[in-house]
Amino acid sequence: MAEKTTKTMRVLYICTSIQSKDMINIVLFGPPGAGKGTQSERLVNRYNLVHLSTGDIFRKNIKEATALGTLAKSFMDAGNLVPDEVTINMLKSELEAFPEAKGFIFDGFPRTSPQALALDEMLSEKEQSISCMLALEVEETELEKRLLGRAETSGRADDGDISIVRNRIEVYKRETAPVAEYYKGQNKFFAIDGIGELDEISNRLFSAIDTLA
């Protein structure tokens, strides 16, 4: 109970301490299967933000057989990260495509330290910054279960194969998890329990965001 209160107070402290000028820019963070896509949709509807999911954009490019899609496919099929330069350039042009946005939900980006630095640079060029990183926390066995279960409806080859799923989780631990330190260093990180009913998890995210100035 005491720990819960401290956690809530930390959200209040972190989010009210942000001098958000006019946009809310949220990094929704977490391992594959943590629920970033599902929760992003709910956040987008509630706060009228633009949802930028790098995984979705890559998949769209694969479907449309663009050069970017062809390049990304081999990395994605193996559960590895698409190279930074490619991903950063893609994100940059997506950002520029929404000049009127009230803010963004970054889902699946940044996934490496160079991506986090590049994102700060892109936003600072627009005199904006990241408001919060909200990190959905889910234990590994649950992630595997969710991804394998999701394969039946997502049709994603990278969800249905246990060795690819495990590689994605390992890549997350090795290359992506350290990105949290970058936001902790800026007092922008907050962990959200990603276990429970979907509505419960959404409410945890909403309460964190609602404290943004």
Report the catalytic residues: 36, 111, 150, 156, 168
> Binding segment for ligand AMP among 20-28, 41-49, 54-62, 137-145 (CB under 6 A)?
54-62
Q: How far is the CB of 18 from ligand AMP (least distance, A)?
A: 23
- Between helices 198-210 and 36-47, what is the axis angle to 10°? 50
Q: How far is the CB of 76 from ligand AMP (least distance, A)?
A: 4
Q: How far is the CB of 7 from ligand AMP (least distance, A)?
A: 26
Q: Which residue is nearest to ligand AMP (CB)?
A: 55
Residue 171 tokens, joined: 């890549």
String marking each residue 81-100 x if it binds ligand AMP according to CB under 6 A = xx----x-------------
For the CA atoms of 197, 199, 201, 202, what is the dihedral angle to 10 degrees? 160
Q: From the list 10, 50, 73, 75, which residue makes contact with ligand AMP (rule: CB under 6 A)? A: 75
Instruction: Rule CB under 6 A: say whether 31 interacts with ligand AMP.
Output: no
Residue 144 tokens, joined: 């595997």
| CB neighbour list of residue 180: distance below 8 Å, 6 or more residues apart | 29, 133, 135, 189
Instruction: Rule CB under 6 A: say whether 58 interacts with ligand AMP.
Output: yes
Nearer to ligand AMP, 79 or 194 (CB): 79
The 3-state secondary structure of 117-154 reads HHHHHHHHHCCCCCCEEEEEECCHHHHHHHHHHHHHHH
Site for ligand AMP in 103-162 (CB under 6 A): 108-109, 111, 115, 158
State which H helix or E strand residue 74 sits in: helix 67-78
In the chain, what is the greatest distance between 2 CA atoms, to the nearest angstrom? 53
Residue 81 in contact with residue 111, Cβ under 8 Å? yes
From the list 200, 204, 194, the residue with the least C-alpha distance to 33 is 194
> Binding segment for ligand AMP among 43-51, 79-87, 131-139, 198-206 (CB under 6 A)?
79-87
Instruction: Rule CB under 6 A: say whether 79 interacts with ligand AMP.
Output: yes
Residues that bind ligand AMP (CB under 6 A): 32, 54-55, 58, 75-76, 79-82, 87, 108-109, 111, 115, 158, 168
